[in-house]
Each structure stands twice: as C-alpha cells, then as structure tokens.
C-alpha cells in the first residue's frame, strides 16, 4: 500500500510542479534577484542613498470637480535621504502633452511627498494620458497620469470615520482652503533678504479612528516649504506652532534673490502625511511670492 501511494505521488509530481520547489524558487527570487536588479537598474527597492539618486513623480489618483472637470493628484518620491534637488521646468522636468509646464514643482524635498499638486483635465479627457518626466542626478524617470476608474480617490472625506482635511485660512474668517491644491491661494510681495511674514489659521474637525491614540495639542500642524523659485528660501521656522485656541501659526521667509516663487503650506491632521497612504486627510495650499531686489542681506 505504501509503495502504491508513493508511486502515485511520484506520478503527480512528474505531471506538475512541486509546490515546495515553487515556493523556494520564489523566495530565492525575492531575497537575491530583486535586490540585485534594483541595484543595477536604480529601481525603487535600491538601498537608500544620502544623495545622487533619482526623483520620480507619483501618480496618486484622480477625482471629479463640481464643474465636470477632473483633477489628477500628483506627488513625488525623491529617493535621496538628505539631498534636496532642484530641477527647473523644461527639458529635464516636463509634463506632456501640453507642457512642459503644468504646475509641477521644481524643488524636490527628500523622500516621499504627497498630494503636492494637481493637474486639471477636461471632462472629456477620457482615456488620454499625460506623462511626467524628471531627470535628476543624471537619471530619468517617467510616470503616466490618467483617469483609470481604479484610481478614483476621495481626498475631501474619509468615508469610514467622516474625517475631513484641515482648513487653512490667511485671515480669521477668510476663505477656507482644504484638500489638494488647485490654483494659487494667496499672492504676496517681498524684497530679497527681507523677512516676509507668513501667517495662517489652521483648524480641523479632530476626528480620529477609534483605535488611534488621542492626539495631544492642536488637532493639526502646518509645514512650509519651497515649491518653485530661482533662489533659496529660508524659513524662520518651517513648522511653526499652531495656537490651540484659534489655530494661528506664524513664521517668516527670506528669499535669496529676486524672482517669482511659489511656496507650499501643508496642513496635516492625525492621519499624517498622505493620510497614511489613503489620500485623506491633509491640505496643501500654494502661495505665490513676487520678490523684488532690495532689502538687507
């Protein structure tokens, strides 16, 4: 009897693949081949570098606007742990067709940045595609941007718990900005070398998942960074404290040279950067600053 069973197993094994062998082969591929190929071809799994690595656009999904148009939500992944990369819009930083300039950043902070900008496309965009190409540190990456139904996102509300993004205002009771950026929220003027006051009021509904640890302090935070511009921008405090009573957060920015700049202010609630990867609930606003010559050094 035992021989019969063993013989039958041997016949079955000859007819198909041994499951254990398949598992071993797969494990070997993951542990050895993939890291090797990543190192050779600069894939996302390559070891993190402090500098010298590539920058890749990140297609994060799309949503429909009230006017029937669609907004494509885009971030990026700067694979450098410490190097901030500047790539001017043009041959090395372009979105096509219709580009090169479609509102993308030219200043890339280290690591992953979520929901940095949106590209608005008409309601009849259909199955067309845009392509964002970035060449940084001698390495070129390309990402497609589209309206695939599988990539619909809801950045204005977490349906599970009813959480909504923080609200950013530039004056008490002023216009409310919430969710992904669309157009410029405010326009300011400054002189190179002089501090420019940046004051916002940040509020939030303070909703959290029941299993989350209660948040201490204000329900939201704010982070300022450069988005575009010809020179460097120095913030007195890029993460100014948010007043618990009214949500006021104030800092200043200095610009090294004249020109047109765009700053990004990102407000996060308890869900964190990129909503923990679920595209809700955070707010990004863009502020245009026209800098003229003058001021102190």
Give the span between the Cα atoms of 169 and 244, in whole angstroms: 15
pLDDT in tens, the chain (297 residues): 433 444 443 444 444 445 554 454 554 444 444 433 433 344 555 677 889 999 999 999 999 999 999 999 999 999 999 999 999 999 999 999 998 999 999 999 999 999 999 999 999 999 999 999 999 999 999 999 999 999 999 999 988 888 999 999 999 999 999 999 988 999 999 999 999 999 999 999 988 877 777 777 888 999 999 999 999 999 999 999 999 999 999 999 999 999 999 999 999 998 888 777 678 899 999 999 999 997 554
Given this model, what pLDDT does residue 159 score?
83
Query: Cα separation of 130 and 80, whole Å?
Result: 25
Q: What share of the chain is helix, strand, coil (3-state, %, to 5)?
A: 15, 40, 45
Residue range 167-292 in CATH 2.60.40.10: yes
CB 180 within 8 A of CB 281: no
Cα angle vertex 63, ends 57, 64, to 5°?
A: 140
pLDDT in tens, 194-204: 999 999 999 99
The answer for residues whose C-beta is within 8 angstroms of residue 272's C-beta and 6 or more apart is 282
Q: Under a CB-based contact definition with an 8 Å cutoff, are residues 156 and 280 in contact?
A: yes
> What pairing do the DSSP bridges indicate for beta strands 167-169 and 139-145?
unpaired
Please, where in the chain does CATH 2.60.40.10 lie?
167-292
Question: Residue 22: phi, psi to the nearest 5?
Answer: -60, -45
Contact between residue 263 and residue 284 where contact means Cβ atoms under 8 Å apart: no
The token duo for 296 is: 């102190």
C-alpha dist (Å) from residue 30 to 27, 39, 47, 138: 5, 13, 15, 28
Nearest to 224 by CA among 203, 209, 240, 243: 240
How many whole angstroms separate alpha carbon 65 and alpha carbon 48?
A: 37
Q: What is the pLDDT of residues 48-107, one digit of tens each?
A: 788 999 999 999 999 999 999 999 999 999 999 999 999 999 999 999 999 899 999 999
DSSP reduced 3-state for 211: coil
Q: Note whether 58 and 75 are within 8 A (CB).
A: yes
Cα–Cα nearest to 53, from 141, 137, 140: 137
Q: How far is CA 271 from the centre of its chain?
A: 14
145 Cα distance to chain centroid: 14
Cβ atoms 179, 156 nearer than 8 A: yes
Q: Does residue 6 have a cis peptide bond before it, meaning omega lies within 30 degrees of 0?
A: no
70-78: strand order across its sheet: 55-64, 70-78, 111-121
Phi-psi region of 126 (alpha: psi -120 to 50; beta: other; left: phi over 0): left
User: What's the DSSP call for residue 7?
Assistant: H
């Amino acid at each position: 009897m035992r021989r019969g069973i063993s013989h039958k197993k041997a016949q079955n094994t000859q007819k198909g693949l041994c499951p254990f062998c398949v598992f071993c082969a797969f494990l070997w591929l993951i542990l050895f081949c993939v890291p090797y190929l990543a190192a050779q071809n600069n894939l996302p799994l390559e070891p993190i570098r402090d500098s010298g690595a590539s920058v890749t656009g990140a297609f994060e999904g799309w949503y429909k606007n009230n006017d029937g148009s669609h907004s494509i939500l885009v971030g990026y992944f700067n694979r450098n742990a410490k190097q901030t990369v500047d790539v001017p819009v043009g041959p090395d930083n372009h979105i096509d067709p219709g580009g090169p300039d479609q509102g993308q950043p030219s200043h890339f902070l280290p690591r992953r940045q979520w929901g940095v900008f949106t590209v608005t496309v008409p309601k009849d965009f259909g199955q067309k595609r845009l392509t964002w190409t970035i060449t940084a540190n001698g390495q070129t990456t390309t990402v497609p941007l589209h309206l695939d139904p599988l990539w619909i996102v809801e950045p204005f509300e977490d349906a599970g718990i009813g959480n909504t993004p923080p609200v950013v205002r530039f004056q008490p009771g002023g216009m409310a900005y919430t969710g992904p950026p669309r157009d410029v929220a405010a326009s300011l003027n400054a002189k190179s070398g002089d501090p420019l006051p940046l004051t916002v009021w940040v509020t939030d509904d303070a909703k959290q998942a029941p299993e989350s640890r209660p948040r201490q302090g204000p329900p939201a935070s704010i982070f300022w960074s450069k988005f575009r511009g010809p020179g460097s921008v120095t913030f007195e405090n890029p993460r100014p404290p948010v007043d618990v009573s009214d949500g006021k957060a104030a800092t200043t920015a200095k610009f090294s040279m004249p020109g047109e700049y765009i700053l990004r202010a990102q407000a996060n609630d308890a869900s964190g950067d990129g909503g923990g990867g679920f595209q809700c609930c955070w707010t990004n606003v863009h502020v245009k600053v026209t800098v003229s010559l003058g001021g102190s050094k």
